Amino acid sequence: MSLEPLNATQLMHDLQVHQIELQLQNEELRRAQVALELSHARYFDLYDMAPVGYLTVAADGLITEANLCAAGLLGVVRSALVKRPLSRFIVKAHQDNYYRCRRQLLETGQAQSCELQMLQNDGVALWVRLVVSAVQPDSAETDLRLVIADISERRNLFDALQKTNQTLELARKQADKANLAKSEFLSSMSHELRSPLNAILGFAQLLEIGKPAPTPTQQASLEQIIKGGWYLLSLINEILDLATIESGHAVLTMNAVEVGAVLQDCQAMIEPLAAARAVRISFPQPPVTFSAQADPIRLKQVIINLLSNAIKYNREGGSVEVCCSTPTAGRLRISVRDSGMGLSAQQLGQLFQPFNRLGQEGGRNTGTGIGLVVSQQLVRSMGAEMRVRSTVGVGSEFWFDLAVSEALPASPAPALAPVPEAAPPARSGALRSVLYVEDGLVNLALVEQLLAERSDLHFLGAQDAMRGIEMARSLQPDVIVMDIHLPGINGFDALKILRSDTATAHIPVLALSANAMPRDVDKGLIAGFYRYITKPIKVDEFLQALDEGLAMGVKAQ
């Protein structure tokens, strides 16, 4: 056999094999192409149907590609976006935000984001969040990819919240202003009501202790005047107290309070009233050894109010029992139980209404119907709640639970308060002088007549602060009594001047003012008055405070 036919046959065979290989490769390429087309189709489906907008922006700022969501957000046909500048769709005032974001991207190579407003085709603005990235991060002329998310709803909610907060802040400022005005009104009202009462009660007390002594008929009349005056003052105090609490200006000082000591003080204060009404009153035995979180002064006020009501509305020869218990861990219950006539269900429903005396308006007991309301508010301020149960014909029980601070060892009986040191005798027979700085002529006359009963004292008067300061420097009084409301400069400013002058810094200064709100008293003591006495004057209290000042003046010399 010749070689030519063999070579031809081999060649034909190789060609056939190669052809089969090419066909297989073509088939593989065709399948890859189909897969690529399917992948590409899926990519464009995801791109076009994505819930966020996609834009491709050329280096010159023109849009080269957009998906359906981007076109929908901007309110235009997708083809109409191509070749249009992106800045055309950004609110002018927000364009700097976009360019700043673009510059940071090109400087750092890191994707950047910002929030701005874009314009729809009809001119309506919407809030969007842009995420900007670079197609070629290392190139300054690269195309940009933008992801656009509609955040209009969130921003609208945010704006609404901001507007609400602004409204609330305005309302808060208005409420603060109203509360301040109310507080100033209360202080002014307290002052205006107490000033005439000071004259009524002061001169009535002078007549009562004057010489010659009043006749029995005069004495009975004076007792009615004094009783009515102090009752009127108690009404004023209760109304102002309630108004102060309701306006949020009642400041409580919460401390660990030894309840046993508070109850002992209450017992000493309330026993005369109980004896006058022939009501038996009992306190816990042995004494309470717990301390509770409370304001000591306000706690005493609440307990005294409950005890006063339990005695006043009791039956003749009845009883009142004060109990302390621990109903739950960490809580101390203080209860006041009486054997009075009790309250009906209807009366219980009206119990904590201000000025509601539950049908007792025509009874023998005076009152305003405010005390329990004030007590309830104070108890709430101390983290508790006033509770009551009552049975008609049997009696009532009021109680509240305070947070226990800690168990304390039984305390010894409190020592008697030291007797105030009496004013020393006048030096070498010389009178000791008291300077009263007061612009009210009636008040000046009242204190002058009061001190006229003291043969060891000489009265000096000044009707304004500057005149009082001049007299203090030249006459060197032993004690200065200072009003707060004065023409020109007030009592606080006058005290500062006296304290800053070496000639008068040693003279004790007693405040005597109709500004009787608790914060007024605290402010006065902090300012440096050695005592702060409120009008109307209680003669014994005033003279005792005056003697304290006279004793201080001697020690300072």
**Distance between CA atoms of 292 and 310, rounded to whole angstroms?**
23
How far CA 244 is from CA of 240, 252, 301, 377, in Å, comes to 6, 12, 15, 11
**Exposure letters 75-104 (e unless 16+ CB within 10 A, then b):** ebebeebeeeebeebbeeebeebbeebbee
φ/ψ of residue 327, rounded to 5: -65, -30
pTM of the model: 0.48
**Distance between CA atoms of 513 and 521, rounded to whole angstroms?**
9
Contact 104, 133 (CB under 8 A): no
State the burial class of residue 464 (Cβ atoms within 10 Å of its Cβ: 0-12, 13-18, 19+). Answer: middle
The H or E element that residue 407 is part of is strand 395-407
φ/ψ of residue 226, rounded to 5: -65, -45
Amino acid at 70: A
pLDDT for 142 equals: 79
Contact 49, 56 (CB under 8 A): no
pLDDT for 467 equals: 93
- Give the pLDDT confidence of 251-260 residue by residue, as tens digits: 677 888 898 8
Polymer length in residues for the chain: 557
Cis status, amide bond into 286, omega within 30 of 0: yes
pLDDT for 42 equals: 57
pLDDT for 44 equals: 59
CA 5 to chain CA mean position, Å: 114
Q: Which residues contact 442 (CB under 8 A, 6 or more apart)?
A: 199
How far CA 521 is from CA of 50, 516, 518, in Å, comes to 72, 7, 5
Number of separate helices (H) and strands (E) present in the chain: 15, 17
- Tokens 């009696």 label which residue? 395
Contact 356, 369 (CB under 8 A): yes
**Distance between CA atoms of 383 and 12, rounded to whole angstroms?**
107
Contact 100, 108 (CB under 8 A): no
Helix intervals (H) in 210-253: 216-246
**Distance between CA atoms of 341 and 360, rounded to whole angstroms?**
12
pLDDT for 140 equals: 58
**Distance between CA atoms of 450 and 463, rounded to whole angstroms?**
18
Q: Which residues contact 476 (CB under 8 A, 6 or more apart)?
A: 433, 503, 504, 507
Q: What tokens were used for 167?
A: 């409204």
**Distance between CA atoms of 274 and 393, rounded to whole angstroms?**
20
**Distance between CA atoms of 534 and 514, rounded to whole angstroms?**
6
pLDDT for 182 equals: 66
φ/ψ of residue 518, rounded to 5: -50, -40
- Give the pLDDT confidence of 243-276 residue by residue, as tens digits: 667 666 666 778 888 988 889 888 888 888 888 8
What CA dihedral angle connects 352, 353, 359 and 360, to 10 degrees?
70
Q: Mean pLDDT of residues grouped by 10 in the chain (557 residues)?
A: 65 77 77 63 64 89 90 88 91 93 89 92 90 77 88 89 91 79 68 76 81 84 80 72 65 84 87 88 82 87 89 89 89 91 83 62 55 85 90 91 68 39 47 91 87 89 92 94 91 94 94 81 91 88 92 66
Beta bridge partners of 389: 397
